[in-house]
Amino acid sequence: MKKKLYVETSVWNQLEHTDRPEWQETAQQFIATLKVVLTDKFMVSAFNGRHSQRLYNDCSHVAIATINGIKHIVSFNCKRLVNDQRIDGFNAINLQNGYDHIVDICTPEKSNRFSME
């Protein structure tokens, strides 16, 4: 059975914090094991190949959700994720790579339209 992971924000945050170098290194190693082909494709398409740790993390969120069949992402990141043009780009790449579901990304205010059942 394929494992599904929910990677809580504190793990991602350690990539940018230097106050606990051992946690930062552990987080970097863990995230490296999650590196997905889709993440790199999102970076090229949605962000024109620009690279920063924050962009990589954002693209990884979408890639991990896609691979695990998660159809909805709730975020306050309106600059890089909750953005119709970027969402269309993420989904185009998903479809080109054989993922047949559309990922919806919205803010918490709009998430009430999803059934939690």
- Mind spelling out the 3-state secondary structure of 59-102? HHHHHHHHHCCCCEEECCCCCCCCCHHHHHHHHHHHHHCCCCCC
How large is the average pLDDT for residues 86-112? 90
57 near 12, Cβ under 8 Å?
Answer: yes
Residue 74 confidence (pLDDT): 92
Q: What is the per-residue pLDDT across 18-65, written as a single tens digit (0 to 9) for each?
A: 899 999 999 888 877 766 688 888 888 877 878 888 888 889 889 989
Instruction: Give percent above pLDDT 90 in the chain.
Output: 32
Residue 115 confidence (pLDDT): 58
**Distances in Å between the alpha carbon of 1 and those of 4, 68, 94, 98?**
9, 12, 22, 20
Q: Which of 29-33, 67-71, 94-98 has the highest mean pLDDT?
A: 94-98
63 near 42, Cβ under 8 Å?
Answer: yes
Task: Quote the pTM value.
Answer: 0.70
**pLDDT beyond 90 at 7:** no
The residues, any chain, with a CB within 8 Å of residue 116's CB and separated by 6 or more, are none
How large is the average pLDDT for residues 90-105? 92
